[in-house]
Chains A and B, each alone.
Chain A
């Protein structure tokens, strides 16, 4: 209460000084404004990117996914290339039996970038041979009303059936046409469309209408593609039993490392020690991202830190100039009874007022920066809009500016407090 009665007039006075010297105060605030703006924008954007990246990794199958891909033999095994059988459906069976940590195994046989033709229309997209396990591993599904996915029976029977990505549908069919049951030609063979995969939106929102499935969607690459039974692909198109890779979904993400190791052992044994495969996880992607995140934080944090430092110096400079101009005022205040501490408080409050006002302007600027960053990132990343401002971050930014203002105000305030009243009054 006592401090409040002393602070209140000091703050009122600070605001009055600010109003009386608008341009000078604004200039002195510029460092604080830039510092708070970049600090808040940085934290917001990085947080947004982290959050969005989680979503992105999830769309890749999450961190519970292990990917096995076909690989060139390493140098020291090159002469054994004849012995390599590659990754086959036999590996799928072996893994099923020996690695119980794995819940689903999705064999994938890439056919290629192929032309899909219907009556009067055609388009090109990646065609892959997969099994029913593709859905849980890729974290995809078929929405009700959009048919079904490839079943085990389709696989066994080598059916000529095809499932389309949602972005492919409007390329081949008119909006009022139901793609299910239609026939699509692939390398001259007639495939029946049995389903359409769910549509992935950046925001996680699902748009039900097939017509709008591809419109303005930055997830387009995930929504394109077409899928046929893996055996159909191998027997009718590829002419061998090799797979391009496997997708493994483990039961418990915490056992990722164990599952990777067991998978590697099983495959090495089955492949007679040949390293004709590579194993990767999304954790590595996440790790790479974390490094980017740190780099981002360091560079923007550096800008924010330097700006706040320069802002502090700016405020100190203006306070010293202001005190020089107001030496007489200080003398008068002392002459009528102000203590050193009263003047200390007054000038400290003035510095704080400048920095708080600067901080608030900085927050407004940060909103602009975040909006701009969102716009840029939306163009650059497949993950769509990223950052939203958070009150806690803004409060932190403002808190930072107050601290800077107080620290910068201490020295000038001490000078004001220690002035001798008579000498101050004699000052012209």
Chain B
């Protein structure tokens, strides 16, 4: 089976003064469609850097990424934007909802930037996504009126509204309490059943346990990769 994403020799180097920082120092990884992957690793090991590159928000210094059969390591900014709104979803630790937009407007945001987007259809899709995360009763609320767990559910709805093939979540539970962590993990688990690949970064071993596969990184390299 060809992987959804195949990464070979991926490097990201930052120049700090005279010193080169190798945030990614040669990563080889394959992600299969429908996988639930957790990435563990100490601070500064390159987890976020990897997620940003895979999420089309950043470009690698070296290496190849084949996404859905296409080489995507170096794309023009507008093309990367297209992948962000059409192929991948991103969930952040700090939710990153826009404070002046209502819940449903926040969720509809990725669709706004699609070719031929129709506002009414976008809202319908946003409501469907909010239904899936159990937040359809708060459509007109502002993010500031929601709890942390609720905000993260809205953020997940925003990540899935465009039917992406993969979702990247960078410490999505980092700001949540135990009860909410469980809800979010259940939610992400249910997405797997719909065929969406989920890659999440965490520091929390109990969170990583929920995943099918745990990758641990160290100093910009894959240190360990085990499936259960």
Flag if A335 contacts B84 (CB, 8 Å).
yes
**Residues in B whose Cβ lies below 8 Å from that of A8:** 119
| Given A328-B96, A340-B78, A422-B52, A335 contacting B116 (CB threshold 8 A) | no
Q: How far is the CB of B14 from chain A (nearest CB, A)?
A: 12
Flag if B98 contacts A337 (CB, 8 Å).
no
**Residues in A whose Cβ lies below 8 Å from that of B52:** 422
Flag if A336 contacts B100 (CB, 8 Å).
no
Counting contact residues on chain A (CB < 8 A from B), the size range is 20 to 34
Flag if B84 contacts A5 (CB, 8 Å).
no
Flag if B96 contacts A335 (CB, 8 Å).
yes
Flag if B117 contacts A336 (CB, 8 Å).
no
Binds A, one of B60-68, B107-115, B198-206, B216-224: B107-115
Shortest Cβ distance from B113 into A: residue: A337
| Given A9-B112, A422-B57, A422-B58, A338 contacting B81 (CB threshold 8 A) | yes
Q: How far is the CB of A349 from chain B (nearest CB, A)?
A: 14
Flag if B113 contacts A425 (CB, 8 Å).
no
**Residue B110 contacts which of A337, A340, A421 (CB distance < 8 angstroms)?**
A337
Determine whether A333 belongs to the interface, using a CB cutoff of 8 Å to chain B.
yes
Determine whether B86 belongs to the interface, using a CB cutoff of 8 Å to chain A.
yes
Flag if B86 contacts A337 (CB, 8 Å).
yes
Q: How far is the CB of B49 from chain A (nearest CB, A)?
A: 9
Flag if A335 contacts B77 (CB, 8 Å).
no
CA distance A342 to B109 in the complex (A): 12
**Residues in B whose Cβ lies below 8 Å from that of A335:** 55, 57, 84, 90, 92, 96
**Residue B100 contacts which of A16, A337, A341 (CB distance < 8 angstroms)?**
A16
Task: State the interface size on chain B (CB cutoff 8 A).
Answer: 28
| Given A20-B100, A329-B98, A425-B96, A339 contacting B113 (CB threshold 8 A) | yes
Determine whether A110 belongs to the interface, using a CB cutoff of 8 Å to chain B.
no
Determine whether B152 belongs to the interface, using a CB cutoff of 8 Å to chain A.
no
CA distance A5 to B119 in the complex (A): 9
**Residue B77 contacts which of A16, A333, A340 (CB distance < 8 angstroms)?**
A340
| Given A334-B81, A335-B96, A337-B84, A421 contacting B109 (CB threshold 8 A) | no
**Residue B113 contacts which of A2, A328, A342, A422 (CB distance < 8 angstroms)?**
A342
**Residues in B whose Cβ lies below 8 Å from that of A332:** 96-98, 109
**Residues in A whose Cβ lies below 8 Å from that of B98:** 329, 332-333
**Residues in B whose Cβ lies below 8 Å from that of A20:** 100
Q: Interface on chain A toward B: helix, strand, loop, or mixed SS?
A: helix
Determine whether B153 belongs to the interface, using a CB cutoff of 8 Å to chain A.
no
Shortest Cβ distance from A340 into B: residue: B77
| Given A5-B116, A16-B100, A422-B58, A336 contacting B109 (CB threshold 8 A) | yes
Determine whether B127 belongs to the interface, using a CB cutoff of 8 Å to chain A.
no
Determine whether B11 belongs to the interface, using a CB cutoff of 8 Å to chain A.
no
Flag if B116 contacts A336 (CB, 8 Å).
no
CA distance A16 to B98 in the complex (A): 13
Determine whether B85 belongs to the interface, using a CB cutoff of 8 Å to chain A.
yes
CA distance A333 to B81 in the complex (A): 10
Q: Mark B96-136, 1 if CB is under 8 A from A, else 0.
A: 11101000000001101110111100000000000000000
**Residues in A whose Cβ lies below 8 Å from that of B58:** 422
Shortest Cβ distance from A17 into B: residue: B100
Determine whether B82 belongs to the interface, using a CB cutoff of 8 Å to chain A.
yes
Flag if A336 contacts B84 (CB, 8 Å).
yes
**Residue A9 contacts which of B57, B81, B114, B119 (CB distance < 8 angstroms)?**
B119
Determine whether B158 belongs to the interface, using a CB cutoff of 8 Å to chain A.
yes
Residues of A within 8 A of B (CB): 2, 5, 8-9, 16-17, 20, 328-329, 331-342, 421-422, 425
Residues of B within 8 A of A (CB): 52, 55, 57-58, 77-78, 81-82, 84-86, 90, 92, 96-98, 100, 109-110, 112-114, 116-119, 158, 162
Pick 9 A–B contacts, CB within 8 A, sort by A: A5-B118, A9-B112, A16-B100, A331-B96, A335-B55, A335-B96, A337-B114, A337-B162, A339-B78
Which 10 residue pairs spanning A and B have beta carbons closest together? A337-B85, A336-B110, A337-B113, A337-B84, A339-B81, A332-B96, A338-B113, A421-B57, A339-B78, A337-B110
Extra A-B contacts (19), CB below 8 Å, given A332-B98, A339-B78: A2-B116, A8-B119, A20-B100, A329-B98, A331-B96, A332-B96, A332-B109, A333-B98, A333-B109, A335-B92, A336-B90, A336-B158, A337-B113, A337-B114, A338-B113, A340-B77, A422-B52, A422-B58, A425-B96
